[in-house]
Amino acid sequence: MAISMHIITADMEDIMNGEMRLEDGRIDLTSLAETMWKQGRRFWWLLLLLAGIGATACSFLVKKTYQPVYTAFAAYAVSSDSVYAGNKNYEQKVAEQIGVVFPYILTSDVLREKVCEKMGTKTMPGSIDASVVQDTNLITIRARAASAGRAYELLQAVLACYPEILHPVTGVLKMELLDESGVPHQPDNIPDGRRAALEGAGGGSLLFILIVLFGAMAKKTVRNREDLQRLTQIHYLGSLPKTRAKKRSAAFLDARYAICARLEKELKKKNMHTLLVTSAVAGEGKTTVACNLALGLEKKGYSVLLLDADLRKPAVCRTMQLDSGTEGAYEVLTGQRTAEEVKIRCRDTQLCVIAGTKSLSSTQQILGTGKIAEIIKQLEKEADLVIVDTPPAGILSDAAMLASCVDGGVFVVRQDFADVRILTEGIRELSEAGMEFAGCILNQTEHK
């Protein structure tokens, strides 16, 4: 068995700082945008959740904090009793003067006291103001309050009280009523629940974008071939394109053929007959890759045996769409059955599978006995190549325990999924356990 210590020479500082930054320190906006898009598609439910929460919260706040404002108004034409009465320019000047003076009068304590006395209240139940129509002698007085009746009462009180205060300043004036609102029929500020909901949904969507942006900026992962080779320093076998699990495209089959051709050269060059397939964490597609390597090499004329040694979460038979039955790797490892008794032959191929049948929470007692090494040696005599699917190496010790039982390994990394720290730690663990890598594969299929 060819065993050599593989030493990772990648600079850890480069690993930690080089994910989405170019050599001059600028952020690679293309990679950032692609990562945000993939994260957004993956967490689309969070967008709906935040938008819904935002819409509901804003609608509730609008209704909860809504205070209606009603406006009652009266429009007057101003004229004077002086000798200049009837002079349009004079009356316009008088109206303009009132427009300047009136705001001060309206806010004066004297008028407020008189209005409160008139209405029988301690404080003025609203606000009042006046304005002059430009280049005319028309003046409009407005009263605003929280209820329609109160707004009209306030207007009437102001109209009754202001002459006593205004005349000493402007002289005796004639104010002819031109228009009056009466009691207002509806508030000025009708709540717009639909607009509030849209604004809330927009706010929730913006929060989602910020979360995705922060996640993309903070995520340290593998985004392309260059990242993978820089981080792992392992021979690159190729990448599998995006495809559906149950429908292999022509591009996928071509990529599998190319990977198997490169792997075949490595196997011959390094004299490997047993191959371990693993990844950093769960969900990176190691089982899918192991099955496709087995199928691809079988088509090239190899007699291949695929062993599901992932005793924690066996998935080979599900991936291959085979009936695993009730007996498999666990029964062989515990001495209940022989490997020959539990082999499953894939239809229309020479590929044999030893399925995983039980999900175990702990595998130390089974893998630590040395029985697995004996079984792999026995299987090596029965096939040209034995492929062993194992649990993820970055978070579990199973793969490292099996490293000394095989000739080499293939490390699978899913694009934009593997965490850099766990990835490098998993490779380090395998290297220290004596693993010689036949290569690494970049899996671009989307995580489900």
pLDDT tens-digit readout, 29-55: 776 777 788 788 888 899 999 999 999
Look at the alpha carbons of 211, 213, 219, 224 in this order and tell me if their dihedral is positive or negative. Answer: positive
Contact call for residues 222 and 413 (beta carbons, < 8 A): yes
The whole-number pLDDT of residue 201 equals 92
Check residue 182 and give left, alpha or beta (phi > 0: left; psi -120 to 50: alpha).
left
Q: Which of 424, 362, 354 is nearest to 396 (CA)?
A: 362
On the 0-12 / 13-18 / 19+ scale of CB atoms within 10 A, 229 is middle
Half-sphere exposure of 404 (CA within 13 A, CB side): 10
Helix or strand or coil: residue 315?
coil
What pLDDT was estimated at residue 87? 64
Strands 385-389, 304-308: pairing kind: parallel
pTM: 0.60
CA dist., res. 130 & res. 141, Å (int): 4
Sheet holding 274-279, edge to edge: 236-240, 437-443, 408-414, 274-279, 385-389, 304-308, 352-354, 344-345
What is the domain class of 12-19+221-443 according to CATH? alpha beta
- At 171 the pLDDT is 61
Where are the domain boundaries for CATH 3.40.50.300 in the chain? 12-19+221-443
Domain 70-180 class, CATH top level: alpha beta
DSSP bridge partners of 408: 275
State how far the Cα of 348 lies from the Cα of 322, in Å rounded to an integer: 13
Asked whether 159 and 111 are in contact (CB, 8 A), the reply is no
What is the rounded CA–CA span in Å between residue 20 and residue 418?
Answer: 15
Where in the chain are all domains bearing CATH 3.30.70.1130?
70-180
> In residues, how long is the chain?
448
Q: Which helix (H) or strand (E) holds 174?
A: strand 173-180
Predicted pLDDT at 81: 59
Cβ atoms of 438 and 277 within 8 Å: the answer is no
State the DSSP string of 342-409. Answer: H-EEPTTSS-EEE------S--HHHHTTSHHHHHHHHHHHHSSEEEEE---TTT-SHHHHHGGGSSEE
Judge whether 98 and 166 are in contact, CB under 8 Å. Answer: yes
Spans in the chain with pLDDT lower than 70 = 1-28, 31, 79-88, 90-92, 94-103, 106-107, 166-173, 219, 244-248, 418, 446-448
pLDDT value of residue 279: 92
Q: What is the pLDDT of residue 101?
A: 67
H-only helix segments in 242-334: 250-270, 286-299, 316-320, 329-333
What is the DSSP track for 11-68? -HHHHHH-SSB-TTS-B-HHHHHHHHHHHHHHTHHHHHHHHHHHHHHHHHHHHHH---
Using alpha carbons, list the distances in angstroms from residue 106 to 109, 145, 158.
8, 15, 8
Instruction: Give residue 249's pLDDT.
Output: 79
